[in-house]
Amino acid sequence: MKRRTCHDRPVPRVSQDQLDARRRAILDAARTCFARHGYEGATVRRLEEATGLSRGAIFHHFRDKDSLFLAVAEDDATAMAATVAQHGLVQVMRNLLVRAADPAEPEAAGWLGTQLEVSRRLRTDPDFATRWAQRSAAIATATRDRLARQRAAGVLRDDVPADVLVQFLELAYDGLVLHLAMGRPADNLSAVLDLVEAAVRRRP
């Protein structure tokens, strides 16, 4: 009778849910690491410390550090586009303001850091800018579609071209991100967002 050894035992299969959970955990930890150290400062060693995984485990899910950062940024952009489509870009700004005001909310710093790092790489890395264009277009499209629905419903002002309103909201968003990232007071920003929202609505 042949004796079974440990080598005869079947290797446990990892479920897709487990793989997805591991990928999500890596993204969340990497987001914090990129926010804290920037893209260049988030070395593989720091990513290992942040995720609690070896480089082999990290890059089993992501080809390299650049792909990992792009995945973090795309994850944020996807969530942002979904919120824009349902509630509008001003709601994205309100959500960010609420998170930034809560010192117990670690996502705010990570999300802000990712946005600033994306902005920096768009200016300095043409290859990244090319890869990012599709995600940026998705957010702009979601904003235009939302505004078109509001205009059709009679909620949005119709004396200004839709593209101008999109640019206005995008500038407000970029300004809010920069303001919060610089650590400036956020005391009156809710009222400022009320003003931004009122500016795009049809006057009674």
Domain 15-200: assigned CATH number: 1.10.357.10
How does residue 197 score in pLDDT terms, banded at 50, 70 and 90? very high
On the question of pLDDT at 5 being above 60, the answer is: no
How does residue 128 score in pLDDT terms, banded at 50, 70 and 90? confident
Give the type of residue at 68: L
Query: Mind listing the pLDDT tens digit for each residue in 27-59?
Result: 989 988 887 888 888 899 999 999 999 999 998
On the question of pLDDT at 106 being above 70, the answer is: no
- Whole-number percent of the chain with pLDDT over 70: 88
Q: Chain-wide mean pLDDT for the chain?
A: 84
- Whole-number percent of the chain with pLDDT over 90: 29
Among candidates 64, 165, 141, which has minimal Cα distance to 173?
165
On the question of pLDDT at 74 being above 70, the answer is: yes
DSSP 64-113: SHHHHHHHHHHHHHHHHHHHHHHH-HHHHHHHHHHHHT-TT-HHHHHHHH
Tell me the average pLDDT across 68-89: 88
Measured CA to CA, the distance from residue 110 to residue 31 in angstroms comes to 5
